[in-house]
A and B are shown apart, each in its own frame.
Chain A
Amino acid sequence: MKVLVPVKRVLDYNVKPRVKADGTGVDLANVKMSMNPFDEIAVEEAIRLKEKGAATEIVVVSIGEQKAQETLRTALAMGADRAILIVAEDKVEPLGVAKLLAKVAEAEAPGLIILGKQAIDDDNNQTGQMLGALLGWGQGTFASKVEVAGEQVDVTREVDGGLETVKLKLPAIVTTDLRLNEPRYASLPNIMKAKSKPLDQKTPADYGVDVAPRLTVVSVTEPAKRQAGVKVADVDELVGKLKALGVAK
C-alpha cells in the first residue's frame, strides 16, 4: 500500500507571529520556517506503517513556493521515499489544495492519505475533510491511533468529550492530532541520503486545477491585549476577591 502525505511549510511554532504594520498579514520575511508540526506527525505515522509492513512506499507532496523543497527534504530525511512539489508562489486555500491533492491521489492511487489536522498558520482545519469529499473516501479526523487491518483502517479520534473510534474502508483519509506519535529527528546520514531522493516539480496547471482564491483577506490585526492586573499578598486577600466576584460564599 502506498501512503501519500501532504506537508506544508509554515512559520516555525516557536516563533512569535508579528502582524505587519500595513495590516496585510503576518511578517514572514527573515523568520524561521519549518514543517507544520501536525504534518511531521503525519510523516512519522506513515513511516511507522512502513516499518510495520503495512505500507510499501511513502510519497510526500507540498504545494507552495520553491523553498517548500526544504520541507519536502526534511520529510525525505525522516524516511519518506519520494516527493512532489506543486509550485505555487501565491497562497493556495484549502479548497484549492484539496483539489490538487485529489488529482495527485488519482495519479498515485495511495491506500491512505495522512495529513495534519490543521496548519498552524491559517488554522483552517479543512484540507483533509475536503479531500475526503472530493475523492469520495472515508475520513478519520483528529486521530490519536491508526490501525490498518486488511482493507480497513480503525481510527481512534480525539473528540470533545473523549475518544471515538471509527472503521473506514480503504482507501481513506486520516488527519493527525498531537498525541498520535512523537516524530523522529532525521539523522545526519539520512539527511545526506535525502538529497538524492527523487523530487518532482509540477504546477497547478499540470493538473488542470484552478486555485484562484475564494476569500479576500481584508485586513489582519493584532488581537485586543489584556491588561495585567494586580497581585494579591496572600490567600485571605484572594478569598476576599473571589467573594467579591460572587464565585465564593
Chain B
Amino acid sequence: MSVLVWVEHDNNSVKDATLAAVTAGTRLGDVVALVAGQGAQGAADAAAKIAGVSKVLLADDAAYGHALAENVAPLVADLMAGYDAFVAPATTTGKNIAPRVAALLDVMQISEVLSVESADTFTRPIYAGNAIATVKSADAKKVLTVRGTAFEKAATEGGSASVEAVSGKGDSGLSSFVGAEIAKSERPELTSAKVIVSGGRALGSSEQFHGLIDPLADKLGAAVGASRAAVDAGYAPNDYQVGQTGKIVAPEVYVAIGISGAIQHLAGMKDSKTIIAINKDEDAPIFQVADLGLVGDLFKIVPELTEKL
C-alpha cells in the first residue's frame, strides 16, 4: 500500500506530530511525505531524513504558505490518485485539512486513530475517550488523522529520501490568511514535553497560577498546562488547555496541581506514564488515576516543592 503523509512544519523543521503520523503510515505501507508551504525547502530536507520516509513531495507555492484547507485539500486530493491512504497528524492543521480531502475523494475519514489493526481496521476514541471503537473501512482509499501520543515518533535521522517538486491548482480564491497570534515560550511544547506541570481552578487567579506553576515548571524543565476550568476562568491562555477540548498529552511525568480531574481533563492526559496529583480534596477524582498523590494546601506545598527541588 502507498501512503501519503501530511508533514506539519514551520518551513525549516518538521513538527513532532508528523513523526507519529509517519509511524502510523509505515504500519500501512510505503510512506511518501508531502511538504506543502512557501519557502519550505528546509522542511522538505528535514522530512527526507525521517526514518521510514521513502520520498518527499514538495509543493512550494504562495497559496500553500499558511496551509489554508481550501488551497491544500485539492492539492492532496489530486495527488491521492497515486496513493491508497492519506495520513495526517490530528493537530488543528490536520483536522482542518483531512476531512476536506476525504470529501473530495468521497471517503469517510477515520479521526484520531489510536492503532492500526490491519489495512482497513483501526481503533479510535469516542465519547471523549470513554469508549474505544474498532472500525473497518469499506472505502477504496483511506483518509486518517492519527493521535500523536498513540504512536512512537519516527527517528528524525536515518532516512535519505529524495525530494521531488510537485504543483497543484494553487489559490482557490476562497480564503486568505489575515494574521496569527502564536504564543512564544522558552519552555518545551506541551504536546512533546517529557514533563508537564498543569494548574487548575484552585490556583484562584492568573497571578497565583503563574506565580506558583511557572517556577515549578522551570525547576523541572517542564511545559505548563492547564485544566479547562482554569482556562475558562482566565488564569491561563487557551493554548495551555489539556483535555478533550484542548491538547492530548502523554508525557513521562504529568503533575496536576489543584485539578479535580473532570472526565474532559482526564481524556487529555490519562495516557501519561506517571501522574502526580496535588489537591486539597482527598476524594478528588484525579487521585483515582494518579500514581502519586499528595493531599494538602497547594499554596503551601507548591512553593515548598519548588524550593526543595
- Cβ of B127: which chain A residues have Cβ within 8 Å of it? 11, 17, 26, 120-121, 123
Instruction: Determine the residue in chain A with the shortest Cβ distance to B136.
Output: A216
With both chains docked as a complex, state the minimum distance between the C-beta of A69 and any C-beta of chain B, in angstroms. 24
Per the CB 8 Å criterion, the residue count for chain A at the interface is: 78
Shortest distance in angstroms between A38's beta carbon and chain B's nearest beta carbon? 9
Q: How far is the CA of A216 from the CA of B125 in the complex (A)?
A: 15
Interface members, chain A 191-249 (any B CB < 8 Å):
213-223, 226, 228-232, 234-236, 238-239, 241-242, 245, 247-249
Known contacts A19-B131, A219-B133; is-contact A248 B174 (Cβ 8 Å): no
Residues of chain B lying within 8 A (CB to CB) of residue A140? 175
A30 to B194, CA, bound (A): 43
* Residue contact A162 to B292, C-beta cutoff 8 Å: no
Which residues of chain B come closer than 8 Å to A142, judged between CB atoms? 92, 95-96
A43 and B260 alpha carbons, distance in the complex (Å): 31
A220-B191 in contact (CB<8A): no
Is A166 touching B68 in the complex (CB atoms < 8 A)?
A: yes
Q: Which of A94, A161, A232 contacts B239 (CB 8 A)?
A: A161
Q: Does B301 contact A (CB under 8 A)?
A: yes
Within 8 A of A (CB), among B110-150: 110-112, 121, 125-139
Which residues does chain B contribute within 8 Å of A71, judged by CB atoms?
none
A62 interfacial contact with B, CB 8 Å: no
B239 and A160 within 8 A (CB): yes
Instruction: State whether the Cβ of A22 lies closer than 8 Å to any Cβ in chain B.
Output: no
A138 to B71, CA, bound (A): 10
Query: In chain B, what residue has the closest Cβ to A140?
Result: B175
Assess whether B176 is in contact with A222, with CB atoms less than 8 Å apart.
Answer: no
Interface residues on B, range: 35 or more
Which residues on A sit within 8 Å (CB–CB) of B175? 138-140, 166-169
Q: Are A216 and B106 in contact (CB under 8 A)?
A: no
CA distance A96 to B202 in the complex (A): 44
The residues of B that contact A248 with a CB separation of less than 8 Å are: 219-220, 309
User: Are B305 and A238 neighbours in the complex by a CB distance under 8 Å?
Assistant: yes
B80 close to chain A: CB less than 8 A: no
The closest CB in chain A to the CB of B272 belongs to: A226
Q: Chain A's nearest CB lies how many Å from the CB of B267?
A: 9
Interface SS majority for chain B: mixed
Count: A-B pairs, CB below 8 Å: 247
Known A120-B127, A124-B111; judge A141-B301 contact (CB<8 A).
no
Partner of B125, one of A123, A134, A168, A169: A123
| Chain A 111-133 near chain B by CB (<8 Å), digits 1 or 0 | 00000000011111111111111
Question: Is there contact, CB below 8 Å, between B103 and A158?
Answer: no
Residue pair A228, B288 in contact (C-beta under 8 Å)? yes
| A-side contacts of B253, CB under 8 Å | 242, 245, 247
Interface check A95, CB cutoff 8 A: yes
Query: Closest approach, in angstroms, between the C-beta of A156 and any C-beta of chain B?
Result: 9
The CA-CA distance from A159 to B293 in the complex, in Å, is: 33
Q: Is the CB of B112 within 8 A of A133?
A: no
Q: Give the residues in chain B near A124, CB-CB below 8 Å.
A: 109, 111
Knowing A123-B111, A141-B95, say if A166 contacts B176 (CB, 8 Å): yes
- The answer, yes or no, to whether B295 is at the interface (CB within 8 Å) is yes
Considering the chains assembled together, what is the distance between the CA atoms of A138 and B60 in angstroms?
21
Which residues of chain B are near A160, meaning CB under 8 Å?
A: 91-93, 191, 239, 247
In the docked arrangement, what's the CA distance between A116 and B133, Å?
22
Q: How far is B191's CA from A164's CA once the two chains are assembled, in angstroms?
A: 19
List 11 A-B pairs, Cβ < 8 Å.
A98-B103, A121-B127, A133-B101, A161-B182, A166-B178, A214-B107, A221-B134, A228-B290, A230-B291, A236-B308, A238-B294
Kindly list 9 other residue pairs between chains A and B, CB separation below 8 angstroms, not including A163-B180, A235-B294: A95-B109, A123-B127, A126-B99, A129-B97, A130-B102, A133-B73, A133-B99, A163-B181, A179-B232
Lowest 6 CB-CB distances: which A-B pairs, in order?
A229-B291, A129-B99, A130-B103, A214-B108, A133-B103, A138-B174
Q: Which residues of B contact A (CB under 8 A)?
A: 66, 68-70, 73, 91-93, 95-104, 106-112, 121, 125-139, 172-183, 191, 194-195, 219-220, 228, 232, 237-239, 244-245, 247, 252-253, 263, 270, 274-276, 282, 287-295, 301, 304-305, 308-309
